[in-house]
Amino acid sequence: MQKLSAKQLWLLVILTVVWGLNWPVMKLGVTGMPPLQFRTLSMWLGLPVLALALVWLKVPFAMPRKHWPELLLLTATNMFIWHVCIILAIQSLSSGRAAILGYTMPIFSAILGALFFASVMTKRNWLGVAAAALGVALLLWHEMTGLSGKPLGVALALTAAATWALGTQLLRRTKIDTPTLAISFWMTVLACVVMTVLTVTFERDAWVMPSQISGNSWFAIVYNAVLVFGFAHAAWFFLARTLPPVASTLSVMMIPILGVFAGAYWLGEVLHWQDWAAVALMVVAIASVLAPTKTPPIRPIEK
């Protein structure tokens, strides 16, 4: 398994904190306004932040015309379906449980990679997938009664996770030879357009005007604009392109754990023994991916 560089490690740590805390933040956001409107405002406000990053780092914006069909596919699988489904799901689920369902993505990704993309899965990798799957099952254990009454939210979250898993596999194998930051920028532009069309079509009558948006919702919008769309997505796309698929997915399994405990602290969501047991299982899953593999010693050639 490829060893993480210092840059990859720091990006992974910051990404984990930003995305982990964002689950209760999103719950605050959709509590005070329509979910698609919340997501759309966050995206449009985050786009200039991302553009400034390109200018500051002197990354060219150019995207050759030949790459646009593949870019559209990457955007659909990594952003369109994920953002629509997960923001609708979080309305009916607790922030922690939405995070858990959303982060079944690494399990989907590992299995898709092994079945359809010829990814090599070692026994240790499969152990990580099994540990992550068991951790998800434990975290959902206490929620089964409640979830049975919210099948649409569960289905939306799992659809988002499975589609994002496919998108991660496609991103890993992309033939687009432009910088990852430029790819992230144009994917965000396309996502902004789609989200705008959806909120205008389905939520226009329920829109909340800027002067009516609560302080909690504004905090959630700014958090998502600057940290999620201005930083986290670009960081994730970089990691997904530079790390092996299993490492780039299972290695962020701490995000739902942070989401669960942040939701408990900020929103008063109740924790149970399953939550604590899942923490240990997620650590096992991460270790199975990131721990260096021992290389057998090279024996000298006998003369």
Per DSSP, the residues of the chain read -PPPPHHHHHHHHHHHHHHHHHHHHHHHHHHSS-HHHHHHHHHHHHHHHHHHHHHHTT------GGGHHHHHHHHIIIIIHHHHHHHHHHHHS-HHHHHHHHTTHHHHHHHHHHHHS-----HHHHHHHHHHHHHHHHHHHTTHHHHHT-HHHHHHHHHHHHHHHHHHHHHHT----S-HHHHHHHHHHHHHHHHHHHHHHHHGGGPPPGGG--HHHHHHHHHIIIIIIIIIHHHHHHHHHHS-HHHHHHTTTHHHHHHHHHHHHHH-PPP-HHHHHHHHHHHHHHHHHHSPPPPPPPPPPP-
Residues 182-199 have pLDDT tens digits of 999 999 999 999 999 999
Give residue 178's pLDDT band: very low, low, confident or very high (50, 70, 90): very high
What is the pLDDT confidence band of residue 289, given thresholds at 50, 70 and 90?
A: low
The model carries a pTM of 0.86
- What whole-number percentage of the chain has pLDDT above 90? 49
Q: Say yes or no to pLDDT of 282 above 90.
A: no
Given this model, what pLDDT does residue 73 score?
97
- Please determine, for residue 303, whether its predicted confidence score (pLDDT) is greater than 50: no
Highest mean pLDDT among 87-91, 248-252, 287-291: 87-91
The band of 126, judged by pLDDT with boundaries at 50, 70 and 90, is confident
pLDDT at 124: 81
Domain ranges of the chain: 6-290
* Mean pLDDT on 43-59: 95
Q: Of 59-73, 122-136, 165-179, 237-251, where does mean pLDDT reach its minimum?
A: 237-251
Per-residue pLDDT, 232: 93
pLDDT bin (cut points 50, 70, 90) of residue 298 is very low
pLDDT of residue 184: 95
Lowest mean pLDDT among 66-70, 150-154, 159-163, 204-208: 150-154
* Average pLDDT score over residue span 247-255: 69
pLDDT for residue 250 is more than 70: no
pLDDT number for residue 227:
96
Range with lowest mean pLDDT among 61-75, 81-95, 229-243, 281-295: 281-295
Average confidence (pLDDT) over 50-55: 95
The model's pLDDT over 65-116, given as tens digits with 9 standing for 90+, comes to 999 999 999 999 999 999 999 999 998 888 888 888 888 888 888 888 888 8
Q: Which of 3-7, 17-21, 31-35, 226-230 has the lowest mean pLDDT?
A: 3-7
Residue 3 in this model has a pLDDT that exceeds 70 = no
Please provide the average confidence, as pLDDT, over all residues in the chain. 86
